[in-house]
């Protein structure tokens, strides 16, 4: 039976058919409703979709969960929170899914999370980074997989504090993610190094950086070090202007997410060397778990995994483990099972913390380097997410404790 399901699923996934429902004969599949910004951010969400597809196929080939195959019914939210909320309703009411998962943008993650609270259904947020999702706006029904803005900033602060640099400048996209990333970095670094000062900041609009002017304005402040949060098209633009205008010479740059292949690869042969970054050196992590994941992924998609692929893969792993642990699909029991749930990621063992529903999935911290005209990470280490979260009483203060 599982085999039939798998073949059906493969057929559908292979042709990338319309997001319809694929029903197995006989055994009713466990239905996961998944929402993401597939058309808005295809560069990130398609590797992510590959990741969860791979995991669903693996689990179903091994006999499914509780003897039932998994089935993911996915929807494109077009990058709009209002549509994501409607689709979440559609998945619950019309498609009768057992739980919700997915989302990339923070505001969409928050909208679905609040909807999940209202409807009292489980929501496993995959990619959104905002801290609010588990802290200020955290709720009983929402769990988040990816290491948050705070965690990634904390990982970089650890390295930044070791630098002799005192005069810092920051550049970040002008929205919540950029603001939080800068706020935490400043706060945590100042706590460790009271002697540092932040002498200038730049807030380019997302996707519309005026790179030449931004670079000159930063250089004008004569900093020792730069903290960068821009990514994507803005980052390329910033790096190229910075390279030509010499902004990065004799200065250390600490940069959030830049080591993720999604952001590093487009820099090509202009990848600056020696930036301290968080990321994912997919070609160098050779732990047995990761090697197995990588070869399965490459075999299945004829492409290398991105960070999103790991997130998609782990989302399904975590959901499957939770269902196993709960032994049922009842939401309240699933929520109890998710709290403190251990699961095996290609990055290593993680848990979903009971205190704030954040997973301890970590990231790799290292330096950028150029190898054969491509950017890569060197001197990296895995930073376990569990070590980069605030003390428990601080978490309790930030997170509403009624739920």
Q: Measure the CA–CA gap between 220 and 214, rounded to whole angstroms.
A: 10
Residue 18 makes contact with other proteins by CB under 8 A: yes
Residues 332-351 that bind other proteins (CB under 8 A): none
CB of 75 to other proteins, least distance (A): 7
In this chain, which of 33, 69, 147, 204 binds other proteins, going by CB under 8 A?
204
Q: How many residues bind other proteins (CB under 8 A)?
A: 71
For 155-183, give one letter per residue: b (16+ CB within 10 A) or e: bbbbbbeebebeebbbbbbeebbbebbbb
In this chain, which of 24, 30, 85, 153 binds other proteins, going by CB under 8 A?
85
In this chain, which of 90, 158, 336, 384 binds other proteins, going by CB under 8 A?
90
Nearer to other proteins, 216 or 344 (CB): 216
CB of 73 to other proteins, least distance (A): 11
Residue 304 makes contact with other proteins by CB under 8 A: no
Residue 198 makes contact with other proteins by CB under 8 A: no
CB of 18 to other proteins, least distance (A): 5
Q: Measure the CA–CA gap between 20 and 13, rounded to whole angstroms.
A: 11
In this chain, which of 220, 295, 298, 344 binds other proteins, going by CB under 8 A?
220
Nearer to other proteins, 181 or 322 (CB): 181
Other C-beta atoms lying within 10 Å of the C-beta of residue 3: 10
Residues 136-155 that bind other proteins (CB under 8 A): 137
* Side-by-side strand order, sheet with 252-259: 197-202, 167-171, 225-228, 252-259, 276-279, 363-371, 374-383
- What mask of x and - would describe binding to other proteins in positions 268 to 287, judged by CB under 8 A? xxx-----------------
Residue 167 makes contact with other proteins by CB under 8 A: no
In this chain, which of 1, 80, 161, 281 binds other proteins, going by CB under 8 A?
80
**Own/partner pairs for 117-125, CB < 8 Å, 24+ apart?**
117/141, 117/142, 117/403, 119/89, 119/92, 120/331, 121/92, 121/331, 122/322, 122/331, 122/334, 122/335, 122/338, 123/99, 124/99, 124/100, 124/315, 124/318, 124/319, 124/338, 125/101
Nearer to other proteins, 15 or 299 (CB): 15
In this chain, which of 14, 16, 26, 391 binds other proteins, going by CB under 8 A?
16
CB of 217 to other proteins, least distance (A): 5
**Own/partner pairs for 146-149, CB < 8 Å, 24+ apart?**
146/311, 146/359, 146/361, 147/359, 147/361, 147/362, 147/363, 147/385, 147/388, 148/358, 149/177, 149/180, 149/181, 149/184
Nearer to other proteins, 138 or 362 (CB): 138
Residues 226-255 that bind other proteins (CB under 8 A): 232-233, 236-237, 240-241, 243-246
Nearer to other proteins, 86 or 325 (CB): 86
Residues 41-60 that bind other proteins (CB under 8 A): 42-43, 46
Residues 23-42 that bind other proteins (CB under 8 A): 39, 42
Sign of the alpha-carbon torsion through 98, 101, 106, 108 = negative
**Closest-CA residue to 215 (of 194, 236, 232, 192):** 236
Residue 266 makes contact with other proteins by CB under 8 A: yes
Other C-beta atoms lying within 10 Å of the C-beta of residue 259: 26
Is 347 in contact with 237 (CB distance < 8 Å)?
A: no
In this chain, which of 157, 196, 267, 322 binds other proteins, going by CB under 8 A?
267
Residue 210 makes contact with other proteins by CB under 8 A: yes
Nearer to other proteins, 244 or 344 (CB): 244
CB of 403 to other proteins, least distance (A): 12
Residue 20 makes contact with other proteins by CB under 8 A: yes
In this chain, which of 27, 140, 163, 175 binds other proteins, going by CB under 8 A?
175
In this chain, which of 1, 8, 12, 201 binds other proteins, going by CB under 8 A?
201
**Own/partner pairs for 3-10, CB < 8 Å, 24+ apart?**
3/61, 5/29, 5/60, 5/64, 5/69, 5/71, 6/57, 6/60, 6/61, 6/69, 9/56, 9/57, 9/60, 9/71, 10/57
> For strand 363-371 and strand 348-351, is the pairing parallel, antiparallel, or unpaired?
unpaired
Residue 212 makes contact with other proteins by CB under 8 A: yes
Residue 199 makes contact with other proteins by CB under 8 A: no
């Amino acid at each position: 039976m599982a085999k039939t399901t798998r073949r059906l699923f493969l057929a559908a996934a292979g042709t990338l058919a319309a997001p319809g429902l694929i029903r197995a004969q006989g055994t009713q599949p466990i239905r996961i409703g998944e929402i993401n910004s597939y058309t808005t951010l295809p560069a990130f969400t398609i590797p992510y979709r590959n990741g969860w597809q791979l995991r669903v196929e693996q689990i179903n080939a091994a006999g499914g969960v509780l003897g039932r195959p998994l089935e993911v019914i996915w929807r494109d939210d077009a990058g709009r929170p209002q549509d994501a909320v409607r689709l979440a309703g559609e998945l619950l009411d019309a498609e009768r899914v057992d739980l919700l998962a997915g989302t990339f943008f923070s505001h969409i993650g928050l909208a679905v999370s609040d909807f999940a609270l209202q409807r009292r259904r489980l929501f496993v947020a995959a990619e959104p980074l905002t801290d609010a999702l588990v802290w200020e706006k955290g709720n009983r029904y929402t769990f988040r997989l990816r290491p948050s803005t705070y965690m990634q900033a904390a990982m970089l602060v650890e390295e930044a504090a070791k630098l002799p640099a005192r005069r810092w400048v920051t550049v970040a996209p002008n929205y919540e993610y950029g603001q939080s990333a800068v706020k935490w970095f400043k706060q945590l670094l100042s706590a460790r190094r009271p002697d540092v000062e932040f002498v200038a900041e730049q807030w380019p609009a997302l996707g519309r950086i005026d790179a030449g002017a931004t670079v000159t304005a930063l250089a004008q402040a004569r900093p020792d070090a730069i903290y960068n949060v821009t990514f994507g098209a803005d980052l390329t633009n910033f790096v190229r202007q910075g390279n030509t205008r010499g902004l990065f010479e004799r200065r250390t740059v600490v940069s959030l997410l830049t080591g993720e292949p999604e952001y590093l690869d487009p820099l090509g042969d202009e990848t600056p060397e020696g930036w301290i970054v968080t990321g994912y050196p997919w070609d160098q992590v050779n732990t047995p778990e990761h090697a197995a994941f990588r070869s399965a992924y490459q075999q299945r998609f004829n492409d290398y995994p991105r960070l999103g692929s790991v997130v998609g893969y782990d989302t399904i792993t975590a959901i499957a483990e939770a269902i196993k642990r709960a032994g049922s699909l009842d939401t309240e029991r699933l929520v109890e099972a998710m709290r403190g749930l251990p699961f095996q990621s290609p990055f290593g063992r993680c848990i979903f913390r009971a205190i704030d529903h954040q997973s301890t999935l970590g990231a790799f911290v290292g330096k950028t380097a150029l190898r054969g005209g491509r950017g890569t990470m060197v001197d990296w280490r895995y930073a376990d997410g569990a070590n980069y979260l605030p003390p428990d009483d601080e978490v309790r203060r930030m997170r509403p404790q009624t739920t």
